[in-house]
Amino acid sequence: MTSAVRHDWSSQEIEALFALPFNDLLFRAQSVHRETFDPNAVQVSTLLSIKTGACPEDCKYCPQSARYNTGLDRERLLAVEKVLEEAEAAKAQGASRFCMGAAWRNPKDRDMPYVIEMVKGVKALGLETCMTLGMLNPHQAEALREAGLDYYNHNLDTSPEFYGDVITTRTYQDRLQTLENVRTAGMKVCAGGIVGMGESRRDRAGLLQQLANLPAHPESVPVNMLVKVKGTPFENLDDLDPFEFVRTIAVARILMPKSFVRLSAGRETMNDELQALCFMAGANSIFYGEKLLTTPNPEADKDQQLFERLGLHALQHEDYSDAVQEAVIADAVAEQEQPVRYYEVS
């Protein structure tokens, strides 16, 4: 029996999932996972910071905010040629998706021609493309879609109730509006959040409720563990219980059965056993490489060794671009019917 794709999850239902005995929760999540996905295949993405630092936002977790002294050097937008070199290297290491992130509140019109050339160039290499550039207006979203952008990442970060304790310079509705603009333009959505920011279990449930009750589920759901960076307001927070992180992965899998659930930031602090539990709980996507924007990530060879130990393999684009993706797209349609060189720009 295939798990129904729902958009009407109540907070009580989600909190009840979190409260299940650990073994029961993992069994249910793994059962849901196997209905749509190869349980031993993991989608691999690489993330490159194309413009680092000096962001005007006040996200309390972020070393790229201009408001905090984290020792991060400000850099301008990378040259298109440099981005394509990095994309080629990522493809050679087994990545099937190349993600590009810029520390902007929102892209300016003068930035868009360079960003569009990056998308076109990466697509020409045969990679899926993803970008995270901050808020997008409808015109910008349409321009990126026309350039061939596959995914746009814009995280909700946390629950609406806890959001004001994390960021004050952008509203929750701003984030939801960007997701709507991306979906309306016809791109796939990558949206998730961060856990370990001092939020409660109810807030973790609230974040997943927001994502699961969108008109169409995000095709990718990154779940980030807070990386505590010296100089940010969150540098001294207590660590989240690892089993609570696994529970969050499992509940995300149950609520969004056809989405890729990605282990994102924070993997460098996770031992192999914890990552294995996350894969058992339904995670089937990772970021691959030595760095995620400005924070460390496990080295590529370490990930390869872990995959070998667990009998996992990297999912290639052609492996899921047909059967799985066609099913996801069909559901989305039905739901809708319901020293390097830099450019001298900001």
Residues annotated in a binding site: 55, 59, 62, 99, 130, 190, 262
Query: Residue 28: CB partners within 8 Å, gap ≥ 6?
Result: 17, 20, 250, 254
Query: Residue 322: CB partners within 8 Å, gap ≥ 6?
Result: none
Known binding-site positions for [4Fe-4S] cluster: 55, 59, 62
Q: Which amino acid would we find at residue 9?
A: W
- Rounded to the nearest angstrom, the gap between the alpha carbon of residue 28 and the centroid of all alpha carbons in its chain is 23
What number of other Cβ atoms are within 10 A of residue 164's Cβ? 11
Question: Of the residues 28, 99, 175, 204, which is catalytic?
Answer: 99
Question: Of the residues 28, 97, 130, 278, which is catalytic?
Answer: 130
Question: Of the residues 28, 170, 175, 190, which is catalytic?
Answer: 190
Active site residue 55: yes
Helices (H), 131-199: 138-147, 160-163, 172-185
Known binding-site positions for [2Fe-2S] cluster: 99, 130, 190, 262
Active site residue 278: no
Question: Of the residues 170, 247, 262, 267, which is catalytic?
Answer: 262
Question: Of the residues 55, 97, 175, 253, which is catalytic?
Answer: 55
Active site residue 59: yes
Q: Which long-range contacts (CB under 8 A, 24 or more apart) does 175-183 make?
A: 175/135, 177/135, 178/135, 178/136, 178/154, 179/154, 179/214, 179/218, 181/136, 181/137, 181/138, 181/140, 181/141, 182/136, 182/141, 182/152, 182/154, 183/215, 183/216, 183/336
Angle between helices 272-280 and 242-255 (to 10 degrees): 20
Active site residue 190: yes
Structure tokens at 137: 């207006």
Active-site residue numbers? 55, 59, 62, 99, 130, 190, 262
